[in-house]
Structure 1
Amino acid sequence: MKKLNILALLIFVAGLVSVFTFDTATTRQIQARVMSLLSPFIHSSAAMEQAADAAVAPQINPVELKRENDDLRVQVERLRIVQQKFNQSLEENAKLRQLIGFKQSAPFKMTAAKVIRRSSSTWWNSLIIDKGSLDGIGTDSPVITSVGLVGKTSTLAPHLTKVILLTDEMCRVSAKIEGTLEQGILAGERAALEVRPELHLRFLSRNANINAGASVYSSGEGGVFPENLLLGRVKRFENREISGEAIVEPAVDFSTLDHVFVIEMQAVEPAPEPPPPPANTKP
């Protein structure tokens, strides 16, 4: 009996397979009858599946979705601002490290200062730094950066100092041109706010052989500025009626100054007067 039951089951399964796999008119009729008999069960199963999906999936509220989207945009903007501040801090830290390294390696005794005020009407002529007479700053002291000469100190307050820039005509520097014996006086010029003034190195030899791009340094004459501070580079040379003149591009970018150094020049002490000879005394 068991063998007959197994054989009957196999024949039934084979019949079902043939009904649902062979595409004939007879099998299509049988498939249609089977599907009509099972249709109530198919509909109820599909309804149960949709109900289950609806129970699991949350309802989407357009207003709530917009609010969440706005919140995400605000968070992204905050993160962008934090990233910008972080990058600015890194840049400021790197700049301060460079300034500290320059101060330690410079052959001068210097005081670091921060630029705290610049007037639009005197943008190319002067600026104000946050160190003054009580910080050891003196008048006519050279002001530099790691790039080159900025200018010299002028009016002093206890903790403020006005700096006359190299681009101002009142700041004159004895200068020399690298690779030549030419020396002269370098000075700026009064210019409109939107025009970056040029430097003029005057009193050079006529027809001097000066190449564009040659570096210009302070010569140290006069005692106000130490020797070999970079001032700029020659743009062109022009012959005047009496002497030659070089147009110089400043080494320092005066539009982006934020930190400077004030050099403490050593005062030259006058030599002591010799004591008067002893008076002759007669016995």
Structure 2
Amino acid sequence: MPSFFRRKRLMTVLIGFVILVVLIGFSMRDRSELTIPEKFIQDTVGWAQTIFHSPVQLVTNTANNIQDMFNVYEQNEVLKARLAEYKGLIQENQQLKKDNEELRATIDKTNSLSDYTPIHATVIARSSERWFKQMTINRGEEHGIEKDMAVITSEGMVGKIKSVSAFHSTVQLLSGFDRSNKISSWVLREDKENAFGLIEGYDMESGKLLLGGIKQDVELNKGDVVISSGLGGVFTKNLRIGKIDEVVNDQFGLTKTAYVEPFADLFDINHVMVVDRKMDTITDEEQNGEEEQ
């Protein structure tokens, strides 16, 4: 009995093997069409692959997208850093260019100041509370600076020395002047005699200097140049101050007041020159005395 079952199993295996060989041979033939079982199997496998492929592809794409996002973020951070460096270099270059232009203008101005000796200085501080009124420069008594000396740039006057220490000085800007700080001035008029006036203060609202003490019969025009006269004994003469912007009558109608636009930018100052008034030219009286002799 057992041998019968063994033979039966062996016969089953042989038949199965024969059938497998036949199927393999059948499937390896060149055929234009598949059998129904093959079509069923192919479709089943295809649908199974599709079902498994879609989520796998979705996960793969998501992972790739996330990786791309991280790469883009890193690249963006690198580009931002480089852009910040470029902006810093551009700003530094612009500042150096500006300083170079200011220094060149200062040198040119120095060459034209034959009547007095300028003392070069650099602005080192401006108080936030008194930004419009004063600043500190890196020159003091040891450099020949004295109180009330005029301070100018290549464009024009910006103020005067308010206080002095050994190596630093405080400059009172024209924008901080009031009626206690006056500059005797000439208004240069084309084809006419110079008109006298006094810089008596600064109008914060208009950003203009106030030139008072002008006689009622004196005619001033917009654009007339205002310079220091040197008659006050404090400032040297012929320092450029500004130009006439507007002329109005005072409240009593006896004199005129002119609004003067400063030549120099009072709020953006880096390099200045302090004018030694002792080096000014001889006075007109001395000159007339020499001519009489």
C-alpha change, 1:264 and 1:197, in structure 2 (3 Å) is same
Whole-Å separation in 2 of the counterparts to 1:105 and 1:212:
26
1:210 maps to 2:217? no
Q: 2:208 pairs with 184, 191, 198, which one?
A: 198
Q: How many angstroms does 1:73 deviate by?
A: 4.2
For structure 1, the residue ranges without an aligned partner over 5 or more in a row are 1-35, 37-58, 269-283
Whole-Å separation in 1 of the counterparts to 2:213 and 2:131:
27
1:164 maps to 2:136? no
1:90 maps to 2:97? yes
Instruction: State the match for 1:65 in structure 2.
Output: 71
Aligned-partner residue type, residue 183 of structure 2: V
C-alpha change, 1:172 and 1:83, in structure 2 (3 Å) is same
1:75 maps to 2:82? yes
Instruction: State the match for 1:46 in structure 2.
Output: none
RMSD between aligned residues: 2.7
Whole-Å separation in 1 of the counterparts to 2:154 and 2:279:
24
Whole-Å separation in 2 of the counterparts to 1:123 and 1:68:
43
Q: TM-score scaled by structure 1? A: 0.65
Whole-Å separation in 2 of the counterparts to 1:124 and 1:144:
16
| 1:2-37: CA deviation from partner (whole Å, max 9, x where unpaired) | xxxxxxxxxxxxxxxxxxxxxxxxxxxxxxxxxx9x
SS at match of 1:98: helix
1:244 maps to 2:256? yes
Equivalent residues of 2:181, 2:200 under 8 A apart = yes
Aligned-partner residue type, residue 208 of structure 2: E
Provide the identity percentage.
29
Equivalent residues of 1:189, 1:197 under 8 A apart = yes
Q: How many angstroms does 1:143 deviate by?
A: 0.7
Number of aligned residue pairs: 209
Equivalent residues of 1:113, 1:260 under 8 A apart = yes
| 1:80-111: CA deviation from partner (whole Å, max 9, x where unpaired) | 43333233323322322222232233222111
Instruction: State the match for 2:229 in structure 1.
Output: 219
Q: 1:120 pairs with 117, 121, 128, which one?
A: 128
Q: How many angstroms does 1:120 deviate by?
A: 3.3
Instruction: State the match for 1:56 in structure 2.
Output: none
Aligned-partner residue type, residue 260 of structure 1: V
Q: How many angstroms does 1:262 deviate by?
A: 0.2
Q: How many angstroms does 1:178 deviate by?
A: 0.9
Instruction: State the match for 1:135 in structure 2.
Output: 143
Q: How many angstroms does 1:267 deviate by?
A: 6.9
Bigger fraction of residues in helix:
2
Whole-Å separation in 2 of the counterparts to 1:63 and 1:204:
73
Whole-Å separation in 1 of the counterparts to 2:231 and 2:173:
19
Q: How does 1:97-116 map to 2 (within 5 A)?
A: 97-107=104-114, 108-116=116-124
Aligned-partner residue type, residue 229 of structure 1: L
Whole-Å separation in 2 of the counterparts to 1:128 and 1:210:
36
Equivalent residues of 2:121, 2:271 under 8 A apart = yes
Equivalent residues of 1:212, 1:233 under 8 A apart = yes
Equivalent residues of 1:203, 1:243 under 8 A apart = yes
Aligned-partner residue type, residue 232 of structure 2: G
Whole-Å separation in 1 of the counterparts to 2:133 and 2:98:
28
Aligned-partner residue type, residue 91 of structure 1: K
C-alpha change, 1:121 and 1:207, in structure 2 (3 Å) is farther
1:174 maps to 2:187? no
| 1:53-77: CA deviation from partner (whole Å, max 9, x where unpaired) | xxxxxx9962673334543443343
